[in-house]
């Protein structure tokens, strides 16, 4: 088991997209009330006094859509200014990014992941559940703005869905040739919505690599990440291609992260909530920082016994029914 030193923090459970792999069509959303969200002060306290002393050095801000969080630039600045902070990043759908990309960079954010599941406007709209004015161009503008500002690495996340966007793999991979962009192909994970897109299943990363190798060749990249992606590169390309293979290749033994939900629940795994801790209630009830640190250490011990494939295949004990929109990214 890797050392767990990476916390994903969901800033808000709301999103301005309804991506079909995240929020299935027809699903009624029960949003967290504002009073039940972690406050900025509570987030800062948990990072500074609980997580950093226990050995956490890397933090990612997620959602929902984190740019919907009020005063998000100010919160980024406060987190980035912590003396012990070693790495701060964000995952966003990019729709609201272009106007504040420079502000986020000035606040101390240096790394950003943007979801881009399709280069085709109609396919993009289908995936995000868009029924009004197309949002593709504003997302593309956000990507361009982040690139111009200087975010590095600039990663684009692509969930590959059979029969929907898998025909675009080569076009998306080609984005890495002339620009220092890093495409991350993610195996479609039907969490809580297994009948999505006609139960088409998922495509193994090995098949995607085979396609790309046949077109350009493919070599292992010298640029290594600390996450679950296996990183490759088209020979001579400026960017890289990462493959996140949670369905075909279980990487639980390499997982280095835990997740903090927008309402303060600390969970050890994407699909396993064994040992979860309600940190928000503990803070508001005056539980000591020392006690919270002890509870965090206990959760990390439980995490070492969790296996994603067992949970997904149904061989693990307990029920799991939350969809991706309720997990926190």
Instruction: Please say if the pLDDT value at position 178 is more than 50.
Output: yes
Query: Average pLDDT, stretch 140-151?
Result: 97
Q: What share of the chain is helix, strand, coil (3-state, %, to 5)?
A: 35, 15, 45
State the pLDDT confidence band at 316, using cuts at 50, 70 and 90.
very low
Task: Decide if 257 is inside a domain.
Answer: yes
- pTM (predicted TM-score): 0.92
Can you give the pLDDT at residue 318?
45
CA dist., res. 244 & res. 251, Å (int): 9
Query: Average pLDDT, stretch 262-291?
Result: 92
Query: Average pLDDT, stretch 271-292?
Result: 93
Residue whose tokens read 């502000």? 103
Task: Decide if 152 is inside a domain.
Answer: yes
Can you give the pLDDT at residue 319?
43
User: What is the pLDDT of the chain when averaged over all its residues?
Assistant: 88
Query: Average pLDDT, stretch 217-236?
Result: 87
- The domain total for the chain is 1
Query: Average pLDDT, stretch 284-309?
Result: 87
Give the distance, in angstroms, between the CA of residue 102 and the centroid of all CA atoms in the same chain.
Answer: 21
Q: Are 224 and 240 in contact (CB under 8 A)?
A: no
% the chain with pLDDT above 70:
86
Can you give the pLDDT at residue 193?
53
Task: Decide if 1 is inside a domain.
Answer: no
Phi/psi at 24 (nearest 5 deg)? -55, 145
Task: Decide if 139 is inside a domain.
Answer: yes
Beta strand segments in 176-313, E: 181-187, 219-220, 230-233, 240-244, 257-260, 265-267, 277-278
State the pLDDT confidence band at 181, using cuts at 50, 70 and 90.
very high
Task: Decide if 26 is inside a domain.
Answer: yes
Mean pLDDT check: name the lowest of 46-55, 90-99, 123-132, 255-264.
123-132
Range of the domain at 121: 6-326
Beta-ladder partners of 88: 59
Task: Decide if 272 is inside a domain.
Answer: yes
Instruction: Please say if the pLDDT value at position 179 is more than 90.
Output: yes
Can you give the pLDDT at residue 192?
53
State the pLDDT confidence band at 324, using cuts at 50, 70 and 90.
low
Q: Looking at residue 44, which CATH number applies to its domain?
A: 3.20.20.70
Instruction: Please say if the pLDDT value at position 199 is more than 80.
Output: no
Helix extents (H) in 131-181 = 136-149, 169-178
Instruction: Please say if the pLDDT value at position 273 is more than 60.
Output: yes
Can you give the pLDDT at residue 254?
76
Ranges 207-211, 247-251, 270-274, most confident: 207-211
Query: Starting from the edge strand earliest in sequence, which strands make up the sheet with 6-10, in order?
Result: 219-220, 230-233, 240-244, 181-187, 154-160, 111-115, 87-92, 58-62, 6-10, 257-260, 265-267, 277-278
State the pLDDT confidence band at 315, using cuts at 50, 70 and 90.
very low
Query: Average pLDDT, stretch 203-232?
Result: 90
């Amino acid at each position: 088991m890797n050392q767990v030193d990476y916390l994903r923090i969901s800033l808000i459970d709301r999103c301005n997209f309804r991506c079909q792999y995240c929020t299935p069509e027809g699903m009624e959303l029960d949003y967290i009330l504002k009073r039940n969200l972690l406050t900025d002060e509570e987030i800062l306290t948990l990072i500074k006094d609980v997580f950093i002393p226990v050995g956490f050095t890397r933090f990612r801000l997620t959602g929902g859509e984190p740019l919907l969080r009020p005063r998000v630039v100010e919160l980024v600045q406060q987190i980035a200014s912590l003396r012990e902070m070693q790495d701060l990043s964000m995952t966003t759908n990019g729709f609201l990014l272009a106007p504040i990309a420079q502000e986020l960079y000035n606040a101390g954010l240096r790394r950003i992941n943007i979801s881009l599941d399709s280069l085709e406007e109609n396919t993009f709209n289908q995936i995000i559940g868009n029924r009004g004015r197309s949002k593709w161009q504003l997302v593309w503008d956000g990507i361009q703005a982040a690139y111009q500002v200087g975010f590095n690495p600039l990663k684009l996340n692509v969930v590959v869905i059979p029969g929907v966007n898998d025909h675009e793999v080569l076009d998306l991979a080609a984005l890495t040739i002339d620009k220092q962009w890093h495409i991350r192909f993610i195996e479609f994970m039907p969490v809580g919505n297994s009948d999505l897109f006609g139960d088409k299943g998922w495509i193994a990363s090995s098949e995607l690599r085979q396609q790309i190798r046949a077109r350009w060749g493919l070599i292992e990249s010298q640029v290594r990440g600390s996450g679950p992606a296996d990183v490759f590169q088209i020979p001579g390309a400026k960017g890289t291609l990462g493959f996140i293979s949670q369905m075909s290749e279980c990487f639980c033994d390499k997982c280095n992260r835990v997740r903090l939900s927008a309402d303060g629940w600390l969970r050890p795994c994407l699909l396993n909530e064994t040992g979860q801790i309600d940190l928000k209630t503990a803070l508001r009830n005056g539980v000591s920082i020392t006690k919270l640190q002890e509870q965090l250490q206990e959760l990390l011990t439980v995490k070492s016994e969790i296996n994603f494939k067992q949970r997904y295949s149904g061989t693990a004990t307990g029920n799991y029914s939350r969809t991706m929109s309720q997990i926190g990214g």
